[in-house]
Chains A and B, each alone.
Chain A
Amino acid sequence: MRRSLIALAALAAAALPAAASADVLDKVKERGTLVVGVKTDYKPFGFRDPSGAIIGIEPDLAADVAKKLGVKLELVSVVSANRMEFLRQGKIDLMIATMSDKPERRKVVQVIEPLYYSDAVNVMLSDKVKVTKWEQLKGAKLCGTTGAFYNKDVATQYGPEIISFDGSEKPLIALQQGNCIGYLYDQTFIAGKLLDAEWKGYHMPLPGIMETPWAMAVAPGEDRFAKLMSDLTKEWMKTGRIVELEKKWGVKPTEYSERMYKEYKGS
């Protein structure tokens, strides 16, 4: 046992320089495969089909990157707890995993600018509720999730009464039972719900507010790859690729992606 422990330690030591090797782009080309970390429990951004394949908007973006590099694509399932660790270890070359852009995260990984996507705050409403502006929700009862940072801001700014519940299932049930007219939550979450037959008869008519942009990331110091990704992101925005993918996966295009499309279209 002692011997095997020593062997393990030696292996660990031998592997350390491998993790800190030169340029990830060269490594990808040499390997012939680009390894991208994506979510597998976030419909429709990254989820599994019955064959086990990972599909969704982010896997499609990953496929675009692999195509651009002329290599094969390998998708690795990541969760919030390990996605940055995997990137730093070199287990994945690129992370497209619904990660909100936060200053403390920028210290750990290299974020690609411009930010490719953005979540926002929105309301899921019954089809019967016809509104076009947030102000029209004044005095209306909305269900919310306890602890969501925007509950208070929305209440003071637009005046709805917010009834809070734990988690995301309870407010949805309350909405179905008619305790409130809508559910105030993350736009991407609502977009995912609206894909399900259970929520036929509900919609999301308002524009998203209080955007929280999502960031793709590469390992720190991979400037060449970051530059390439940055150019590719601009190209996506120019060609409307992200809006196109939203439509493909049945998501109502976000304010952010439409704005970026408009902004870059002429450039």
Chain B
Amino acid sequence: MSGGRILPVILPPGARGATGGPWRAPTLRARHGAVLVLALLLAVGAAEAAAEPGRPSILGTLWRWTPLLLEGFVFNIAISLLAMAIGTVAGLAVGLGLISPNPGVRGVSWCLTQLFRNAPWLVLLFFVMFLLPFEFRVGGVTIPFPGWIKATLGFALPVMANTAEIVRGAIQSIPYGQWEAAESLAFSRRRTLWTIILPQCVKRMLPPWMNLYSLVAMATVQASVVGVTEMLTLVSEVHAAEGGRPELLAPLYGYALLCFFLYCYPIGRLTARLERRFQVRI
């Protein structure tokens, strides 16, 4: 024991990691939300102090605009949910296409996945916004095609590509022996896939899929760039309506941040829990 170093032979339980293995990464907890609230209140306090007397209070201003801002936030949620639904269904199809026995289907699926997974989301959004018409006629009836639906489609494209990769990864993570066993029991390829492989995939796909959802929910604010009236657009419009006072910026955007945290935090927690539950134990 010349170096004073304890040999890693009979370490006490719980001391793992002390020898250079991976340390446990910090996790997001509810108290971090409390820190966020505190930061918002501090920003409000600072703004309140910077404001001259006789002007409407910052909290009062936030409160007055809350119904409108939350209306915008509901819009963000609607866009994210719809984009997720469309993208998941399409992504499942493309993901299955990635492992199809047909080389043509494989190639097309691969192209779609690579294209939409690697393009910046905002670029896709611009494409969809300016290439699709704002209304279309079917048999003399004009059906409007509002900007937020277009934005939803724009978000559904990357969701599709990412879901496809999640599906492909999950299918490939199932031991190959199961395919062979199924084949030896005279299961068709389709039956093997739908009744043996995919049911096992669902729980493996769930955590990364929910993770993807969190990302989509937060990405919806990008729709403000292409003129969809969602929360971030309204935040800047509220700022303008309040006379563009600079001390209002931090509280207003902090408020939007808090809304997203409160929405995404439970999803993150649930994802972590599911991850633990479905962990592959060795």
Contact = CB atoms under 8 A, between A and B. Distances in A.
Interface of A: 1-2, 4, 8, 11-12, 14-19, 40-43, 47-52, 77-79, 81-82, 85-86, 89-91, 168-169, 173, 192-193, 195-198
Contact of A1 (B93, B137, B245, B246): B93
Interface of B: 52, 54-56, 64-65, 67-68, 71, 90, 93-94, 97, 108-109, 112, 130-138, 142, 145, 160, 226-227, 229, 233-234, 236-246
B71 A12 contact: no
A167 B242 CA distance: 18
A40 B68 contact: no
Nearest to A79: B227
Given A15-B135, A19-B133, A48 B238 contact: yes
Given A12-B132, A18-B142, A77 B236 contact: no
Secondary structure type dominating chain B contacts: helix
A45 to B, nearest CB: 11
B134 A89 contact: yes
B68 A14 contact: no
A4 to B, nearest CB: 7
Given A1-B94, A42-B240, A169-B246, A48 B234 contact: yes
A52 B243 contact: no
A227 B230 CA distance: 36
A4 B91 CA distance: 13
Given A1-B93, A89-B133, A82 B112 contact: no
Contacts, number: 101
Given A14-B137, A41-B236, 16 more contacts: A1-B108, A15-B135, A15-B145, A18-B133, A18-B136, A18-B137, A40-B229, A42-B240, A47-B241, A48-B238, A50-B68, A52-B68, A77-B229, A77-B237, A198-B52, A198-B55
Contact of B243 (A8, A81, A173, A193): A193
Nearest to B236: A41
Contacts of B243: 43, 192-193, 195-196, 198
Contacts of B109: 1
B245 A198 contact: yes
A192 B133 CA distance: 35
Contacts of A41: 236-237, 239-241
Contacts of A51: 67-68
A197 B132 contact: no
B135 A1 contact: no
Given A51-B68, A91-B134, A82 B237 contact: no
B237 A78 contact: no
A192 B142 CA distance: 39
Contacts of B136: 11-12, 14-15, 18
A82 B136 CA distance: 20
A16 B133 contact: yes
A98 to B, nearest CB: 12
B227 A82 contact: yes
Given A14-B138, A40-B237, A52 B132 contact: no
B227 A196 contact: no
Contacts of A18: 133, 135-137, 142
A240 B123 CA distance: 47
A11 B128 CA distance: 13
Q: Which of B54, B65, B227 has the most CB of A within 10 A?
A: B227
Nearest to A85: B130
The 3 closest A-B pairs by CB, nearest first: A196-B243, A15-B136, A15-B133
Contacts of B133: 11-12, 15-16, 18-19, 89
Nearest to B61: A50
Contacts of B108: 1-2
Nearest to B51: A198
5 contacts: A11-B136, A52-B68, A86-B134, A89-B133, A173-B246
B65 to A, nearest CB: 6
B80 to A, nearest CB: 20
A56 B207 CA distance: 48
B68 A43 contact: no
A47 B65 CA distance: 13
A89 B108 CA distance: 32
A48 B132 contact: no
